[in-house]
Copies of this chain bind each other. A is one copy, B any other.
């Protein structure tokens, strides 16, 4: 059996994601889709809209055969770290290909970009350094340096687009680890990644779906954009009296931690650098709600996302020291599978390159302990029970990759 790997967050899963999963199979000719999915905290440094178990159910109903959790350390890392963690897991899971969405669906453009940077490594790194010294944020600096190399416009990818950036880093990581997986890219469909509103048509962005809920406290507007399973699980979340994850919900806790621990303690937290702990402390002292707090912390030097990642680490107590204990993925944490997925894992179990973890209690590992810990912190904000990593088994979906749109 051949599997293709994809990297997802499903925050929440919508029709565009279903399309992507279908296309991944079609474009690669694989029998299965294996997804590496962020847990309860995401790459933009945010708590997930709903937890990883609900999002796993959505994924299985949408045609994904196996869902592995991307450990906290990578799920909340910046693009290169996120990409490398995900690619290492897909490689360990024995995927023959990995498939990502891009603006143009043209793999050659990414190959060009990689070559371009590879051939002018020194110039590139020098330009990045200059731009950072100039006060640009790291992603902006990368893009500026890249633009300098790419001034001829010779058909390389546009790395100012979020999907392209991730795609580029997947390919860079695959090359770096000597992956045997073949890359495949498919053209994105529908709304922009960060599109903040919902518009007519059946493809929306996850951001748009979340914003629609948060601005109206109702899921009614989102119905047309998500599969039945997503709709049902979101309604159930609401009926169970749970809070949908967003910073506004977690900010009172974050604020208390910041004020309690004080700026000196914050310097031990991963990603906190250059005295930003003082700015964070003063802003938390002053502002009782999240948006004004962020406005007070934000600057040209720090992207919104980078600050949110710091805040996530403050909330979960993720220190530089902890991060140093989990530099590379050390297990494949199974969140769910279809019967197809189970057959695949049975076939591959001897050749998987990392231990397969179905029960959280079965492995003592600092990164797994961190995933469990992060889920408990997430549970306190949303109202979920704690210790679900121990009490819940992987979800088994009893269908053969049915993937109808609704």
Instruction: For the complex formed, measure the closest distance between the CB of A360 and the CB atoms of chain B, giving whole angstroms.
Output: 14
Which residues of chain B are within 8 angstroms of A257 by Cβ–Cβ distance?
256-257, 260
Which residues of A (364-400) have their CB < 8 Å from a CB of B? 373, 376-377, 380, 386-387
Which residues of A (236-289) have their CB < 8 Å from a CB of B? 252-253, 255-257, 259-262, 285-286
Contact A386/B286 with A260-B377, A261-B317, A377-B259 known, Cβ cut-off 8 Å? yes
Interface residue range, chain A: 20 to 34
Which residues of chain B are within 8 angstroms of A377 by Cβ–Cβ distance?
256, 259-260
Cβ A380 vs Cβ B259 within 8 A: yes
Residue in B253, B261, B262, B286 whose beta carbon sits within 8 Å of that of A256 in the complex: B253
Whether, in the assembled complex, A316 has its beta carbon less than 8 Å from a beta carbon of chain B, the answer is: yes
Cβ B285 vs Cβ A315 within 8 A: no
Which residues of chain B are within 8 angstroms of A316 by Cβ–Cβ distance?
260
A252 to B252, CA, bound (A): 10
A386 to B256, CA, bound (A): 11
Closest residue of chain B to A376 (Cβ to Cβ) is: B259
Contact A387/B317 with A253-B256, A377-B259, A380-B256 known, Cβ cut-off 8 Å? no
Closest residue of chain B to A387 (Cβ to Cβ) is: B285
Q: How many copies does the complex hold?
A: 2
15 A-B residue contacts at CB 8 Å?
A252-B380, A253-B253, A256-B256, A256-B257, A259-B376, A259-B377, A259-B386, A260-B316, A260-B317, A260-B377, A261-B317, A262-B317, A285-B376, A285-B386, A285-B387
Which residues of chain B are within 8 angstroms of A373 by Cβ–Cβ distance?
259, 262
Residues in A lying within 8 Å of B, measured CB to CB: 252-253, 255-257, 259-262, 285-286, 315-317, 373, 376-377, 380, 386-387
A285 to B257, CA, bound (A): 18
Cβ B255 vs Cβ A380 within 8 A: yes
Q: Which of A262, A386, A387 is packed against the most chain B CB atoms within 10 Å?
A: A386
Instruction: For the complex formed, measure the closest distance between the CB of A296 and the CB atoms of chain B, giving whole angstroms.
Output: 14
Which residues of chain B are within 8 angstroms of A261 by Cβ–Cβ distance?
317
Instruction: For the complex formed, measure the closest distance between the CB of A179 and the CB atoms of chain B, giving whole angstroms.
Output: 36
A285 to B377, CA, bound (A): 10
A261 to B257, CA, bound (A): 10
Which residues of chain B are within 8 angstroms of A262 by Cβ–Cβ distance?
317, 373
Which residues of chain B are within 8 angstroms of A315 by Cβ–Cβ distance?
260
Instruction: For the complex formed, measure the closest distance between the CB of A289 and the CB atoms of chain B, giving whole angstroms.
Output: 12
Instruction: For the complex formed, measure the closest distance between the CB of A63 and the CB atoms of chain B, giving whole angstroms.
Output: 36
A252 to B250, CA, bound (A): 11
A259 to B376, CA, bound (A): 8
Instruction: For the complex formed, measure the closest distance between the CB of A381 and the CB atoms of chain B, giving whole angstroms.
Output: 8
Closest residue of chain B to A285 (Cβ to Cβ) is: B386
Which residues of chain B are within 8 angstroms of A252 by Cβ–Cβ distance?
253, 380
Which residues of chain B are within 8 angstroms of A285 by Cβ–Cβ distance?
376, 386-387
Which residues of chain B are within 8 angstroms of A259 by Cβ–Cβ distance?
373, 376-377, 380, 386
Which residues of chain B are within 8 angstroms of A376 by Cβ–Cβ distance?
259, 285
A253 to B260, CA, bound (A): 11
Q: Given A256-B257, A259-B373, 15 other A-B contacts at CB below 8 A?
A: A253-B253, A253-B256, A255-B380, A256-B256, A256-B380, A257-B257, A257-B260, A259-B376, A259-B377, A259-B380, A259-B386, A260-B315, A260-B316, A260-B317, A261-B317
A262 to B316, CA, bound (A): 11
A309 to B376, CA, bound (A): 25
Which residues of chain B are within 8 angstroms of A256 by Cβ–Cβ distance?
253, 256-257, 377, 380
Instruction: For the complex formed, measure the closest distance between the CB of A284 and the CB atoms of chain B, giving whole angstroms.
Output: 9
A259 to B315, CA, bound (A): 11
Which residues of chain B are within 8 angstroms of A387 by Cβ–Cβ distance?
285
